[in-house]
Structure 1
Amino acid sequence: MERGKIGARIKTWRERKNLTVEQLAEKTGLDPKFIEAMEEGAAAPALGPMVKLARALGTRLGTFTDDELSDDPCITRAATRTPDSAVQASGGKNLAMTYHHLGHGKADRHMEPFFIRLDPEDGEPALSSHEGEEFVVVVSGQVVLRYGQEVHTLSAGDSMYYNSVVPHHVGAGGNQAAEIYAVIHVPF
């Protein structure tokens, strides 16, 4: 889904809650200018900030990314995962992650499943934290998990499961892209 649609949904939910950008920034710890840029479609929201926004607005993360509701089972074919349906988030000076949401349309879900392509990043990545848990399986390449003060390198077939309230960052290892499946659970 394009970032303009996501930003419009964030703004709609903020306005429904009768919150100013500044009030939402205070509730989330995000910079008001970043929230404005997201709402205007000028900034690509990563998962961490979107989780914080969803919690502050009292909704699930998927509220910002779903286009339509579907019946169970919710099936996403690999052939339909195109960049047009992905949320892209910037890291450093280059595109660091492309998210493909795998739970589109499942309104009653309690988890947020994603297929994510991780590209090499410029500079030292920032750590983020939010309530909930994350489970990640590495599909290809090497992945580096920065978790608090720890650094772990994982390869294809390896998995990680962690409490996402601890500051963390998941990125491509080395100078090559990596691919992962990630499931995020955020209580609300």
Structure 2
Amino acid sequence: MSSSQLLGTRIRTYRERLGLSVEDLAKNAGLDAALVSNVEDGAVYPSISVLVKLSRALGQRVGTFMDDQFVDGPVIVRAGERKDDGTPHRGAGPANYRYYPLGQGKTDRHMEPFYIDIEPNGEESLSSHEGEEFIIVVSGEVEVQVGKEASRLKAGDSIYYNSIVPHLVKAAGAERAAIYAVVYTPF
């Protein structure tokens, strides 16, 4: 089962446990019902902001839908191993992002760490969700827009912001970029 299908099945299971229809969940999350249906069917892997909205509407933390197994002790993800966990978006967020979750298995976590590859020339729509984000640029250059303020960051630079403010992170210029991002969503 692909990670998109696994995530979709988990969301459907929690929705059904609560006795909600797809339309109910979509309304509670402030999303389109077709998008929720596509996520549940595994046709779409949602962006972080969509996943946060779904998890909040279901009364769960984001990691509930991303974890494959429990790890007793610290979670270590080797650079060469994280590539197997990457999941591209397909229609529910920037198609030019590839997320690699770094906290899977730590079931009591309060933040979601990711390694993210960003291809240039992707969608440019702002997103927002409750919480905070911390980003460190690993390679390339990124442009981060938070509200009306845009900043260009290079490898080694970081930014920390409230993610309720509409924001956009994209590769700056024509080169691919990579970042580490930590997303905190209050529960």
TM-score (norm 1): 0.93
What 5-or-longer segments of structure 2 have no aligned partner?
A: none
Q: Residues 153, 91 of structure 1: CA spacing in aligned structure 2 closer, same or farther, 3 A cutoff? A: farther
In the alignment, what sits opposite 1:139? 138
Q: What amino acid maps onto 2:128 in structure 1?
A: S
Report how far residue 95 of structure 1 moved: 3.2
Contact preservation (8 Å) 1:102, 1:114: yes
Once the two structures are superposed, the pairs formed by residues 1-150 of structure 1 within 5 Å of their partners are: 2-82=3-83, 84-90=84-90, 95-122=95-122, 125-150=124-149
CA RMSD of aligned residues (A): 1.7
In the alignment, what sits opposite 2:165? 166
Partners of 2:174 and 2:18 lie apart in 1 by 43
Partners of 1:95 and 1:120 lie apart in 2 by 10
Partners of 1:177 and 1:91 lie apart in 2 by 20
Partners of 1:171 and 1:91 lie apart in 2 by 17
Partners of 1:137 and 1:9 lie apart in 2 by 30
Partners of 2:28 and 2:87 lie apart in 1 by 23
Structure 1 outlier segments of 4+, above 4 Å = 90-94
Contact preservation (8 Å) 1:90, 1:97: no
Partners of 1:162 and 1:10 lie apart in 2 by 28
Report how far residue 44 of structure 1 moved: 2.1
Segment drifting more, 130-139 vs 91-100: 91-100
Partners of 2:93 and 2:166 lie apart in 1 by 21
Q: Residues 134, 93 of structure 1: CA spacing in aligned structure 2 closer, same or farther, 3 A cutoff? A: closer
User: What do the CA deviations read for 1:51-96 (whole angstroms, capped 9, x no partner)?
Assistant: 11111111111111110000111111111112x3122224799831
Alignment identity in percent?
50
